Amino acid sequence: MTGSQDQAVAATEPRLRAFEREAASLRARLHRYASRMVGSVIDGEDIVQEALAKGFVAIWNGDMPDRTEPWLFRIAHNAALDFLRKRARSQGRES
């Protein structure tokens, strides 16, 4: 790595750690929310995983929101809607 890359990683690490702490505290609520939206505990967990992964990537790329909680819930909400659309399309093809 170059010096500037080292500096960028060093600057990002505290944000990632802060996000990780906040995500851990919100995980159960995110899971309940996503599970209720899609009607499945298992699919809800997949949605939470997707939302957290997208959050980590965004923060790694420098997109730190002012308020993490509503931002993560919006990511989870959109992921759940995507899941529901995909499920509706696949059920439409089966019938």
What radius of gyration, in Å, describes the C-alpha atoms of the chain?
16
Structural domains in the chain?
3-94 (1.10.1740.10)
pTM of the model: 0.83
Q: Considering only CA atoms, which of 80, 90, 86 is closest in space to residue 45?
A: 80
Q: Is the pLDDT of residue 47 over 70?
A: yes
Residue 93: its pLDDT value, please? Answer: 79
Q: Tell me which amino acid residue 4 is.
A: S
User: What average pLDDT does the segment 32-49 reach?
Assistant: 98
Give me the chain's average pLDDT, please. 90
What distance lies between CA 55 and its chain's CA centroid?
5
With a cut of 90, say whether residue 9 has pLDDT above it.
no
Is 41's pLDDT higher than 90?
A: yes
The whole-angstrom separation of Cα 26 and Cα 78 is: 17
Q: What is the pLDDT of residue 95?
A: 62
Share of the chain above pLDDT 70, in %: 87
Per-residue confidence at 65, pLDDT binned at 50, 70, 90? confident
